[in-house]
Chain A
Amino acid sequence: MNEARDSMLKEVMALDFMCIELNLYLDTHPYDQRAVMVFVDAARRAKMARENFERMYGPLTASASNSFPWPWIENPWPWDVQ
């Protein structure tokens, strides 16, 4: 498996996880202005990381597949991942 691809995918996963964590925090702290700022920044970075990854290595979700021929099957299958 491509090492650069792995590290980019891990970055996407880490930033998505950060968004989920801050989402949960904000559910109980809706007036925490600093947390909202951190969340907005994390969401923006997650979106950028996702777009960068998808531009280079293809769609991360089937709904992000928007080209022809169908690019979803070009991703490594679960049994291809080492």
Chain B
Amino acid sequence: MKPNEIMPAAIENKPEANIAPSKTIDMCKMQFYNPMPIVGAKLTFAYVPFQCLCCLYSPEVGLGQGTIFPELDRPYGADPVYTVDG
């Protein structure tokens, strides 16, 4: 049997596919333990862009913000002066 045939809903990523078919569902426990594995899911790749040195905050501003890199300052891209498109 192919994995797809066991849990077709899991392939389509429907929320009910991940919930065990029982009468009472303790949602608190669901956060920590999901008894039904996701079957047939494909592997994926996480992508993190590599940081490039662009403009920097002045030392004083950097000390206040907790970083000298505007692109790492939260909320990201809020200051238009330091965004590439801004």
Contacts and interface: CB of A to CB of B under 8 A. Distances in A.
Interface string A27-64: 01100101100100010000000000000000000000
A73 interface: no
B51 A21 contact: no
Nearest to A19: B59
A70 B46 CA distance: 56
Report, as a range, how many residues of chain B touch the other chain: 10 to 19
A22 interface: yes
B62 interface: yes
A18 B51 contact: no
Interface in A1-27: 10-11, 13-15, 17-18, 21-22, 25
Interface string B4-37: 0000000000000000000000000000000000
A3 to B, nearest CB: 15
B59 A17 contact: yes
Interface residues of A, number: 17
A15 B56 CA distance: 13
Contacts of B56: 18, 38
B68 A10 contact: no
Given A17-B68, A21-B68, A32 B62 contact: no
Which 10 pairs show the lowest CB-CB distances between chains A and B?
Answer: A14-B59, A14-B63, A18-B59, A21-B68, A17-B63, A14-B60, A35-B53, A15-B59, A18-B68, A32-B53
Given A18-B59, A38-B53, 14 more contacts: A11-B60, A14-B63, A15-B59, A17-B59, A18-B56, A18-B63, A18-B68, A21-B62, A21-B67, A22-B68, A25-B69, A28-B51, A32-B53, A34-B53
